Amino acid sequence: MNYWSTLWLVSVWEFQRYFKPKEQIISIVFAIIGGLGYFGFKAHKEKQSKEEIVLLVVSELPRPGSERRLGRFILKPDEGPADEAEKKVVKGEAAGLLIQKSVNSAELRTTKKVGWGAELESALTRQRQKALLSATLVPAVVMSVLNDPFKLDRRVIGRDEKSKKLGKIEAAWAVGFTALMLFGVFIGNAYLFIGITGEKQSRVTEQIVSAIPAQVWIDGKLVGLSFLAFASVLNLLFSILVFFLVGWGITGNWILPMKIADPWLMVRCLALALAGFAFWFAFFGMIAATIDNPYNSNRAAFLYFPVLPQMLAFFALSDPDAFWVRVVALLPVSSTTMLPVRQIAEVASWWEFPAAMLLLGVGIWILRTAAGRIFRLGMLMYGKEPGLSEMVRWVRET
Amino acid sequence: MSQKPALKMEGVFKRYGRIPAVDGVTFEVREGEIFALLGPNGAGKTTLVRMLTGITKPDEGSIQFSIGGGAAGDQPAPGDFGYLPEERGVFTDIPVIRTLEFFGGLRGMKRADARKEGEHWLKRFELHDRMGDKIQTLSKGNQQKVQFIGAIIHKPTFAILDEPFSGLDPVNQDMFLDVLRELRANGMTILLSAHQMQLVERLADRILLLARGREVLSGTLDEIQTRSHAGSTVHLRLGAADDEKRLADLAYVQDATRRDDGSVRVILEPGATLAELLRFAANNFEILDVQTGRMSLHDIYVRAVGEDRAAQPTPEAVS
């Protein structure tokens, strides 16, 4: 067997070992149930919010008004007295009784607590404002201008023309991408830790390394788990899509922002994600090979390393073309999350993607070589963990 | 059995820090034989096995395999070599047959061939109805069977089996003995390490006894018994009042100890005759029963390891 056929065998084994189609289907089923629950409830609330509400109005003012409509509220004057009107409300002839005390106050009586109280208060306030303004004889044109917000265009000067802040939709996509990356990295790391440390403890590793080189074994793990993380992310994306499809089916509105529809951008982002998984898994493979017991090793803290570039990505959202963003978007530890932000903002130059991929490739190569060497010797250590100097020596010597 | 060596280990040293784990060991394993590696804990067996499997390298000395028809080299081709680690070296969360397919694949087998061979061996070990079960649901002994199948599924010409009888009941131990004999008959060379002396005695063609990383005894059982001056063993059942200590004082008696069943086990010096002992016993004790035999491998092992320990200077003596 040559390197590539063995790599394929191990990669498929590692992928199939942890990829559970049943779990993937369950997550889609959950998305459907969640979508039905969320959008069904939302549609119900929206339907409720559009229903007309009839209120009887008993006025204590000298000149009671006529029947009028405020938004969805229909105010029907009632001659009273209030006790008689209240009986009508109890009988269900109206949703409530509004006793108008003055031009500034009223009392609302209902048979149960209602959710539209604040809405009614707001409608009455607007109606009072309108009445007061009408009384001042302000022209209609002036009235409409009074209600419009001031228009302020913001522009950064003295910077590249391309420099811009991400819009809401682009920012949502960038945040979503970094979150998915983090999800994939954590999923893969969990399997990597369980796999490498568990196999080391059960000595299954010895049986395998007696058959194939340690480097192929670790390479196969990295490839298999990278595709596993990738598949998990795709499944999560699919589940999210299903969730919104259910919403579309119920409400008739497509609310997922689809402004980012450039397929080449998607391909670049996915390629960066896959390479990013391989990079982080090579790093964690190296760490896991040195861990004796995953439950009490303080090296498990390395699991949280990928959170740092994710945090940087959030800072980059406000200015994706800042100098520091341009630099970290090329570094292998951060390019997988930072470069997509720049690409989505359309501020990245054409050469940044191939440059970042090249640097990632070099980083993966160095880390997987170190991981293979450390793994080969680390798997023989039981009861203690090698120090940093020992690991450096292994990498140099082997 | 051929006299051609399948494995030659010459002057092999391996140290961990200043501690020698393997200290100048030389031996050879011949084609088609079962070679047993014995030794107490810390004797260097695991280190030696790891060097043979290529997991670690010796500091000094050479290891040469001449198997599979290829040129001699320090590592055999994966398909020619099988290895059963001492502990449960299996993926416990994977079904039995899938594990065997994977192990076969690692040794160069096609998946379908590995499955067919795996099914054959599972039938042989009466595990055929469990082939779809996860390994963690099997008993310790059955897990050992799966691990064993994984080590020989690809029909290697040379197999290293570290504690193959671990976790097996007597019935399954006998089944393993039969299988190992069958594999040997089919031309497989086997190097095994085990603690079950009575099984090694029944199975091994030749034996190497290690202690503190060094060879203590080696050869066939007969050769070892001769070299270790293992005299005849006599089990005497004596009258209740008789004192076995008088036997131990005799010049031609190596050892005389009372066993839990009440009998006295007497080991004669090489060359001593049974008649001498029986004459003395008849004149001095009431003899109820007599059984004779040769010193067992267990006794030789315990005595050799004990002598080796005694021969080592204590830290006080060194200082």
Q: Which residues of B82-99 are buried (b: 16+ CB within 10 A; e: fewer)?
A: bbbbbebbbbeebbbbbb
Residue B242 has pLDDT above 80, yes or no: no
Sequential DSSP letters for B253-308: EEEEEE-TTS-EEEEEPTT--HHHHHHHHHHHS-EEEEEEEEPPHHHHHHHHHHHH
Mutate: best of B55, B84, B161, partner A, most A CBs <10 A: B55
Residue A164 has pLDDT above 60, yes or no: no
Mutate: best of A2, A204, A209, A210, partner B, most B CBs <10 A: A210
Q: Which residue has the tokens 């302020």?
A: A152
State the nearest Cα–Cα gap between B310 and chain A, in angstroms.
30
CATH code that applies to domain A52-147: 3.40.190
Distance between CA atoms of residues A129 and A120, nearest Å: 14
Q: What is the bridge-based pairing of β-strands B5-16 and B60-65?
A: antiparallel
Residue B71 pLDDT class (50, 70, 90 cuts): low
Residue B50 pLDDT class (50, 70, 90 cuts): confident
Residue A209 has pLDDT above 90, yes or no: no
**Is B167 an interface residue toward A (CB < 8 Å)?**
no
Q: Which residues of chain A does B92 touch, with a Cβ-Cβ cutoff of 8 Å?
A: 202
- pLDDT confidence of residue B105: 94
Q: Which of A6, A204, A211 sits opposite B90 (nearest CB)?
A: A204
Distance between CA atoms of residues A13 and B117, nearest Å: 19
**Per-domain boundaries in chain A:** 3-38+168-397, 52-147
- pLDDT confidence of residue B318: 38
**Is B105 an interface residue toward A (CB < 8 Å)?**
yes
Across the A:B interface, residue pairs with CB atoms under 8 Å apart total 63
Q: Which of B85, B103, B150 sits opposite A206 (nearest CB)?
A: B85
Mutate: best of A206, A377, A390, partner B, most B CBs <10 A: A206
Residue A93: partners with Cβ closer than 8 Å, 6 or more residues away: A56
- pLDDT confidence of residue B315: 46
Residue A199 has pLDDT above 80, yes or no: no
Distance between CA atoms of residues B63 and B80, nearest Å: 16
Q: Which residues of chain B does A210 touch, with a Cβ-Cβ cutoff of 8 Å?
A: 53-55, 81, 83
Distance between CA atoms of residues B51 and B113, nearest Å: 30
Q: Which residues of chain B does A6 touch, with a Cβ-Cβ cutoff of 8 Å?
A: 106
Tell me the average pLDDT of chain A: 82
Would you say B304 and B228 are in contact if contact means Cβ atoms under 8 Å apart?
yes
- For the ranges A139-143, A382-386, B176-180, B222-226, the maximum mean pLDDT occurs at B176-180
**What's the mean pLDDT in B39-44?**
84
Residue A162 has pLDDT above 80, yes or no: no
Structure tokens at A252: 């008739």
Q: Which of A1, A207, A376 sits opposite B85 (nearest CB)?
A: A207
Q: Which residues of chain A does B50 touch, with a Cβ-Cβ cutoff of 8 Å?
A: 206, 380
Residue B166 CB neighbours (<10 A): 17
H-run or E-run covering B15: strand B5-16
Residue B5: partners with Cβ closer than 8 Å, 6 or more residues away: B28, B29, B30, B31, B66
Residue A370 has pLDDT above 80, yes or no: yes
Q: Which of B53, B91, B93 sits opposite A210 (nearest CB)?
A: B53
- For the ranges A37-46, A235-244, B183-192, the maximum mean pLDDT occurs at B183-192
User: Would you give the end-to-end CA distance of chain A in angstroms?
Assistant: 23
**Is B85 an interface residue toward A (CB < 8 Å)?**
yes
User: CB distance B108–A380 less than 8 Å?
Assistant: no
Please count the CA atoms within 13 angstroms of the CA of B217 that sit on its side-chain side. 27
User: CB distance A210–B88 less than 8 Å?
Assistant: no
Phi and psi of B144, rounded to 5°? -65, -35
Phi and psi of A195, rounded to 5°? -65, -55
User: CB distance A212–B106 less than 8 Å?
Assistant: yes
**What's the mean pLDDT in B98-126?**
94
Residue B172 pLDDT class (50, 70, 90 cuts): very high
Q: Which residue has the tokens 């090249």?
A: A358
Tell me the average pLDDT of chain B: 86
State the nearest Cα–Cα gap between A315 and chain B, in angstroms.
42
Phi and psi of A321, rounded to 5°? -110, 15
Q: Which residues of chain B does A205 touch, with a Cβ-Cβ cutoff of 8 Å?
A: 89
Model ipTM over 0.85? no
User: CB distance B106–A380 less than 8 Å?
Assistant: no
- For the ranges A190-194, A368-372, B294-298, the maximum mean pLDDT occurs at A368-372
Calculate the alpha carbon distances from A283 to A289, A302, B37 in Å.
10, 9, 39
Poorest-confidence range of A118-122, B196-200, B259-263, B305-309? B305-309
Look at A395 and B110; give whichever has higher pLDDT.
B110
**Is B54 an interface residue toward A (CB < 8 Å)?**
yes
Mutate: best of A204, A376, A381, partner B, most B CBs <10 A: A204
Sequential DSSP letters for B40-60: -TTSSHHHHHHHHTTSS--SE
Distance between CA atoms of residues A346 and B5, nearest Å: 70
Residue A244: partners with Cβ closer than 8 Å, 6 or more residues away: A35, A254, A255, A256
